[in-house]
Structure 1
Amino acid sequence: MSTANPLLAPSTLPYGLPDFSVIRDEHVMPALEEALRRHSVEIAAIADSPDAPTAANTVVALERSGQDLARVLGYFFTVAGADATDERLRMEAEIAPLIAQHSDDMYMNPQLFRRIDAVFQALPESLGRIEVKGQVTAAQLDAETVALVQRYHDLFLRHGAGLAEEAQARIREINAELSQLSSEFGDNLLTDTQLRAVHITEESELAGVADAQKSFFAETARAAGKTGWLVPLGLPTAQPILEQLSDPAVRARVYEASLQRGGRRSEQIAHRMAVLRAEKATLFGYHTFAEFVISDETAGTPEAALELLSDLAPAAVRNAESERKDLVAMAEAAGDTSFTAADWPYYAEKVRAAHYALDSAMLKPYFRLQSVVEKGVFRAAETLYGLRIVKRSDLVGYTPDTDVWEVTDAETGEGIALLLTDYFTRPTKRGGAWMNSIVDQNYLLGQKPIIINVLNLTPAPAGEEVLLTLDEVETLFHEFGHALHGMLSSVVYPLFSGTNVPRDFVEFPSQFNEMWTLHEDTLPVYAHSAAGETIPSELVQKVRAAQQFGQGFATVEYLAACIIDMAWHTLTHAEALALGDDLDVAAFERAALQRAGLLVDGVAPRYRTRYYQHIFSNGYSAGYYSYLWSEVLDADTVDWFNEQGGLVPEAGRRFREKILSRGGAIDYMAAYRDFRGRDKDVTPLLRRRGLV
């Protein structure tokens, strides 16, 4: 293999940023094949070593291996999610089973596991001498190395190292098929979502829609070779555009298109994945896949997660039903006597305007993208954590509208991380918003992080500023919370870096960071109109007064999605098989929601099976409850920050030291107790959601 392939040698750019200007799709497969070969050679050398096993020559050596593979996958999965061209979708389908097989080959290598087990059994005497490329105290190095050995030992067992050969062979088959199905689910959803975009031919049908939004729909239609307007669809059931559409018939069309995304094929894939996941759990000695998965999360058991959901459900349903009465009354007053789920967002905006004299359109002039990002999102982090964030115009991202920023220590000027921001929607971008890393921080290899934030904002017409909704502003803060978790990591080993933590803990820093969206220390600084006018205090008061408005709907749609996730993943293998290939998925979902007491007329689950990307394509299977579990910590932490005085550097330093910098090398709830001074308290969450 020629070293001319830019993916097979470390980048010479700052922080190891991939040279996007020279990397081409045709580089990926040859680089991947060679990287897999090189990693296999490294693994074999570790497994076959004649030396007595130590942490240094076995577990740390394994952690040090695979750098070429990490480089190739860090690049590919970044562009495959954010710019999923047909060629990249094809490659992704080809790559997924290769990675699954390679992973199984490593985790089921009996000689390698024997060495890891020997190190594990002999702790702490088995550590050995470990070389790192960063300033690390002996105490941190020893503690993290012990944790690394324990984690790898556990990972090998959870991947089948302790199973009989026959069971291992079946696990391999299941993993390969699940990998392929997961990729197929995501690709099918992306393609079908594009096909179901709602084509509008008469401008009158877009009554109520803002001019900038209409311009975007017109441009989307032109790009698709159509006349008129094309309304693309986002991830959740209730599409944001429903808030604006005055025409109930068009609302119904958009809502129905949203419900149909993924089609019957998605349902078939989901059922097959549920069967395979349940079988896999059985092979590991668990009753259900949820039991298997959550045993490795902070919740510990499905029962603990379900208890939190069920505790909130009755009050949330009462609130949603009360909200519905107000909405129906508003609809009837407007002459609309056939209120449906498609109408809920539209009339929710009308009721909000009537009760609070607040229309979401009133806020947008003050939420200008550049100001929100630089004077809001970035400034809050700079103040709290002692950072400086500057655009690097000399560095390029993977698309022309991807910006590159450098994060440095404000006092010393030392480089901390690179941040790539990719904010605007495009036909080839997957739905939703996310953070991912190209390079994980670690002292073992001396690497600093490269982090990406991706959103799907609507671009403004040429020459105009991008104006945001309050939800979009909140999403920017949320995803940057994930970015901070990755960028401020200070760990020895890549396995523990940044967001490499349990799913029901990873959303804690991101959700906490949302607190600065409307905080009095931040909002007046970034919320300015183009004329320089600060958002009026009376408007801010209205926004804060309305914060609990709609929480019934929001909580029920979220809880309902959690229940659908759990319904699929608390099935035993026999139960999953018994559902049959002709399963009526809508009836299955309805029965689960009925049992949970979460059937509210007009409130659909935030995600239904057909388009439930989180659990069938994005690694959140049996884990969508994580957002609520993390929100308990988030709400409790918001209270603590307010007690400390808000945007206070001393408070930020404590949060950075105790939580953000520690990554996955900690006992998570012990770390929270160390930070907070006590166990978590659910009361702030209940208060936030209007449930007490």
Structure 2
Amino acid sequence: MSQNPLLTDWTTPFDLPPFDDIAPSHFEEAFDAAMSEARSEIDGIAQDTTAPTFTNTIIALEKSGKRLTKVAGTFFNLSGAHTNPELQEIERKIAPKIARHASETLLNPDLFQRIATLWEQRDTLDLSVEDLKVLERYWKMFQRAGAGLDDAGKTRMAEISQRLATLGTSFSQNVLKDEADFQLVLETEEDRAGLPDFLLAAASEAAKERGLDGKHVITLSRSSIEPFLQFSTNRRLREEAFKGWTSRGETGGDTDNNDVLKETLVLRKEKAKLLGFDSFAAFKLDDTMAKTPANVRDLLTRVWTPGLERAEEERQKLADMAVQLGENHPIEAWDWRYYSEKVRKAEHDLDETELKPYFPLENMITAAFDTATRLFGVTFKELSDVPVYHRDVRVWEVLAANGEHAGLFLGDYFARPSKRSGAWMSAFRSQHKLDGNVTPIIVNVMNFSKGAPGEAALLTFDDARTLFHEFGHALHGLLSDVTYPMISGTSVPRDFVELPSQLYEHWLSEPEILSKYAVHYKTGEPIPRSLLDKVLSASNFNQGFQTVEYTSSALIDLELHLLDDPDTLDTGSFEKQELEKLGMPSAITLRHRIPHFQHIFSGDGYSAGYYSYMWSEVMDADAFGAFEEKGDIFDKETAAKLLKHIYSAGGRPDPEETYVAFRGRPPKIDALLEKRGLSA
């Protein structure tokens, strides 16, 4: 055991995982040992013969399983950001084991009885607000896992949990395999027609990574395929690329996800029924701000209708543009981005090739850091000679306003075949104060395209917004100031968790930030005021498309988890029928088609919860108004309230109450419609 670096005390700087010493072969032994250790600790709490107290039960649970937390945090961050076949095989083996371990804890009757006793006595225990919230979370977590069921129900819940863990792993690995296997090789000048230099440079680098030196490859990373769809004049290849992108997970072979997702929905439905809910959506939403499927549908419908009207106006402009260019064909889904770029150029005199040189990655990182410094006083010091899991990963020490160490931030910015698509924030270690002041280790993972050797990596404006979004999540983890791991950082209701990230995006669009950091990567000249004005005036360009693309996915997610008989689901037919009911334009597809909808099928984090981005957007659009009303986007008093009530509070307060504490009133949906340019 002492030879396994995952099972020794880490002597690395800041207690980072010793990545250089860890091999895939270490993980199975480490998981088995860590789960055995955690089981012994948890069983000891459950079998304690003394009366339950907050200390000997809740705090004891919070302190249990430290080694398992470290091993799992290391493994699952690697399996998402830098995997390989050996790690994937281990993930398939370990997922049901972890689910079984969780079930053994959550369905333990003695342990649940101790928690239930404390919950019944809560008014007499002299608990702090934070203590009470943690007790409540444990009570709800055990209840929602099935702790109150009879023995047969508990047995079945455990079986369901293990199978769902296996299915979620299969789903994500299938999508990753389809993404890694796809490559559109551009052989000729006709293949490359219309592509700007920045995309050709990125495609050349992608080709080198795949052993195709001297060629150009378009991958299914958004930062590769979206600009290809924007600029390629080769309509045949646009169609080929688009169909490769949208058919992930439904290729009909070993990586086809249709059976996986159908079984997932059947088991989720059964789980909800066991717990007394009519549907999985009703079960999942019962523990959120939204509360009910009806509330979710109401919000999405209120945005869908004006979004659809705007999208139809946009489609007509694209059709008119195609006619002007002498191309007499209907607008298809693989045409939208291409003609949209032409219309944006015509209406706003703005195109991506003009804009992108002013958004080098390095400047956008600095802009995100500087915004945090001006709002919250934290600063960032880049470190070298610390262990990382890939050579592209960068590490910064985060210093609090008083100069003391506050945590580590890891940035993993570039696409590679070993990384799943998308962008996300995760934690190698969460903040808490149970064992002194444990500081967080937070990572942002992106999929930006690399520049040519020696050249800067250039971002689109949407890429820059993604960077700010994920850094908002990172700050939610880094600035956390709570006692208990249970409510640390982003451990908040799913439809509240996007508030800190989406709110942070607002600062990128402010002239005060753009004029300072949108600097040409070659000349060092700041973005011209005329170009800056174009960027801001075009901020709601194509908003109908974006609203329809997202909202349709959120509605499909909801309807999937309301199905009465998911065992009869035919995915393609269901998707087609639901979109016809909505009146979905044929030229727009779902942002995430069902067979690769990882938010809802790679685990259940956003299942029946993809609406959360829009629920939070109602708050973030309204929240930024607090700064605008002060006439200062860095107003110190407002920033202090934002830190106290949102970014540092973790899951301690009630979301609705803490929002009102920050803003002085509940949020208004009018702010969302105005932000999207959809208000009347």
The Cα offsets for residues 525-566 of structure 1, whole Å up to 9 and x where unpaired, read as: 111113221111111111111111100000000011111111
Is 1:98 matched up with 2:97? yes
Q: Is the 8 A contact 1:15 1:448 kept in 2?
A: no
The Cα offsets for residues 645-668 of structure 1, whole Å up to 9 and x where unpaired, read as: 112333222100111111011111
Specify every segment of 5 or more residues in structure 1 that has no aligned partner in the other structure, as ranges. Answer: 128-140
The Cα offsets for residues 78-115 of structure 1, whole Å up to 9 and x where unpaired, read as: 11100011111111111110110000000000111111
Alpha-carbon distance between aligned partners in 1 of 2:642 and 2:21, rounded to the nearest angstrom:
40
Alpha-carbon distance between aligned partners in 2 of 1:342 and 1:623, rounded to the nearest angstrom:
28
TM-score of the aligned structures, taking structure 1 as reference length: 0.94
Amino acid aligned to 1:288: S
**Alpha-carbon distance, 1:124 to partner:** 3.8
Q: Is the 8 A contact 2:489 2:651 kept in 1?
A: yes
Task: Tell me the equivalent position of 1:568.
Answer: 560
**Alpha-carbon distance, 1:4 to partner:** 3.3
Task: Tell me the equivalent position of 1:554.
Answer: 546
Partner secondary structure for residue 454 of structure 1 = strand
Task: Tell me the equivalent position of 2:364.
Answer: 372
Alpha-carbon distance between aligned partners in 2 of 1:219 and 1:686, rounded to the nearest angstrom:
40
**Alpha-carbon distance, 1:624 to partner:** 0.4
Alpha-carbon distance between aligned partners in 1 of 2:123 and 2:348, rounded to the nearest angstrom:
62
Task: Tell me the equivalent position of 1:346.
Answer: 338
Is 1:507 matched up with 2:498? yes
Amino acid aligned to 1:460: G
Q: Is the 8 A contact 2:472 2:503 kept in 1?
A: yes
Q: Is the 8 A contact 2:383 2:396 kept in 1?
A: yes
What does 1:509-658 correspond to in 2, within 5 Å?
509-529=500-520, 530-572=522-564, 575-579=565-569, 583=570, 585-595=571-581, 597-618=582-603, 619-644=605-630, 645-658=632-645
Is 1:685 matched up with 2:672? yes
Partner secondary structure for residue 239 of structure 1 = helix
Alpha-carbon distance between aligned partners in 2 of 1:276 and 1:292, rounded to the nearest angstrom:
13
Q: Is the 8 A contact 2:480 2:650 kept in 1?
A: yes
- Residue 448 (structure 2) aligned to one of 436, 454, 457: 457
Partner secondary structure for residue 364 of structure 2 = helix
Task: Tell me the equivalent position of 1:397.
Answer: 388
Task: Tell me the equivalent position of 1:207.
Answer: 193
Alpha-carbon distance between aligned partners in 2 of 1:91 and 1:186, rounded to the nearest angstrom:
14
Gap change, CA 1:230 and 1:321, over 3 Å in 2: same
**Alpha-carbon distance, 1:56 to partner:** 0.5
Partner secondary structure for residue 297 of structure 1 = coil
Q: Is the 8 A contact 2:557 2:607 kept in 1?
A: yes
Alpha-carbon distance between aligned partners in 2 of 1:609 and 1:196, rounded to the nearest angstrom:
19
What does 1:118-137 correspond to in 2, within 5 Å?
118-126=117-125
**Alpha-carbon distance, 1:220 to partner:** 2.5
The Cα offsets for residues 381-440 of structure 1, whole Å up to 9 and x where unpaired, read as: 011001111101132321111011011123x21111100000011110000000000100
**Alpha-carbon distance, 1:234 to partner:** 3.0
Amino acid aligned to 1:421: G
**Alpha-carbon distance, 1:236 to partner:** 11
- Residue 421 (structure 1) aligned to one of 408, 411, 418: 411
Amino acid aligned to 1:435: M
Task: Tell me the equivalent position of 1:133.
Answer: none
Alpha-carbon distance between aligned partners in 1 of 2:23 and 2:224, rounded to the nearest angstrom:
36
Q: Is the 8 A contact 2:225 2:241 kept in 1?
A: no
Alpha-carbon distance between aligned partners in 2 of 1:112 and 1:336, rounded to the nearest angstrom:
69
**Alpha-carbon distance, 1:304 to partner:** 0.5
Alpha-carbon distance between aligned partners in 2 of 1:341 and 1:238, rounded to the nearest angstrom:
13
Gap change, CA 1:15 and 1:650, over 3 Å in 2: farther
Amino acid aligned to 2:388: G
Alpha-carbon distance between aligned partners in 2 of 1:305 and 1:388, rounded to the nearest angstrom:
39
The Cα offsets for residues 258-316 of structure 1, whole Å up to 9 and x where unpaired, read as: 12211242122111111111111111110110100010111111111110011111111
**Alpha-carbon distance, 1:215 to partner:** 3.0
Deviates more, 1:457-466 or 1:517-526: 517-526
The Cα offsets for residues 343-400 of structure 1, whole Å up to 9 and x where unpaired, read as: 00010000000001011111111111111111x1100001100111110113232111
Task: Tell me the equivalent position of 1:673.
Answer: 660
Q: Is the 8 A contact 2:422 2:446 kept in 1?
A: yes
Alpha-carbon distance between aligned partners in 2 of 1:689 and 1:252, rounded to the nearest angstrom:
29
Gap change, CA 1:473 and 1:155, over 3 Å in 2: same
Q: Is the 8 A contact 2:414 2:448 kept in 1?
A: yes
Alpha-carbon distance between aligned partners in 2 of 1:452 and 1:247, rounded to the nearest angstrom:
38
**Alpha-carbon distance, 1:445 to partner:** 2.3
Alpha-carbon distance between aligned partners in 2 of 1:625 and 1:675, rounded to the nearest angstrom:
23
Amino acid aligned to 1:531: T
Amino acid aligned to 2:378: L
Task: Tell me the equivalent position of 2:467.
Answer: 476
Alpha-carbon distance between aligned partners in 1 of 2:320 and 2:180, rounded to the nearest angstrom:
35
Gap change, CA 1:500 and 1:39, over 3 Å in 2: same
Alpha-carbon distance between aligned partners in 2 of 1:215 and 1:386, rounded to the nearest angstrom:
38
Alpha-carbon distance between aligned partners in 1 of 2:387 and 2:223, rounded to the nearest angstrom:
32
Task: Tell me the equivalent position of 1:130.
Answer: none
Amino acid aligned to 2:671: P
Alpha-carbon distance between aligned partners in 2 of 1:296 and 1:591, rounded to the nearest angstrom:
30
Partner secondary structure for residue 307 of structure 2 = helix
**Alpha-carbon distance, 1:588 to partner:** 0.5
Partner secondary structure for residue 342 of structure 1 = coil
TM-score of the aligned structures, taking structure 2 as reference length: 0.96
Partner secondary structure for residue 662 of structure 1 = coil
Partner secondary structure for residue 521 of structure 1 = helix
Q: Is the 8 A contact 1:442 1:491 kept in 2?
A: yes
- Residue 457 (structure 2) aligned to one of 457, 466, 484: 466
Alpha-carbon distance between aligned partners in 1 of 2:434 and 2:47, rounded to the nearest angstrom:
23
Alpha-carbon distance between aligned partners in 2 of 1:119 and 1:684, rounded to the nearest angstrom:
42
Amino acid aligned to 1:498: G
What does 1:68-467 correspond to in 2, within 5 Å?
68-126=67-125, 142-226=128-212, 228-234=215-221, 239-263=226-250, 264=252, 265-338=256-329, 339-374=331-366, 376-410=367-401, 412-446=402-436, 447-467=438-458
Gap change, CA 1:553 and 1:635, over 3 Å in 2: same
**Alpha-carbon distance, 1:217 to partner:** 2.0
Alpha-carbon distance between aligned partners in 2 of 1:569 and 1:10, rounded to the nearest angstrom:
44
Amino acid aligned to 1:406: E
Q: Is the 8 A contact 2:223 2:447 kept in 1?
A: no
Q: Is the 8 A contact 1:275 1:577 kept in 2?
A: yes
Partner secondary structure for residue 122 of structure 2 = coil
Instruction: Indicate the percent of aligned positions where both proteins have the same amino acid.
Output: 40
**Alpha-carbon distance, 1:461 to partner:** 0.9
Q: Is the 8 A contact 1:500 1:663 kept in 2?
A: yes
Amino acid aligned to 2:628: N
Gap change, CA 1:283 and 1:238, over 3 Å in 2: farther
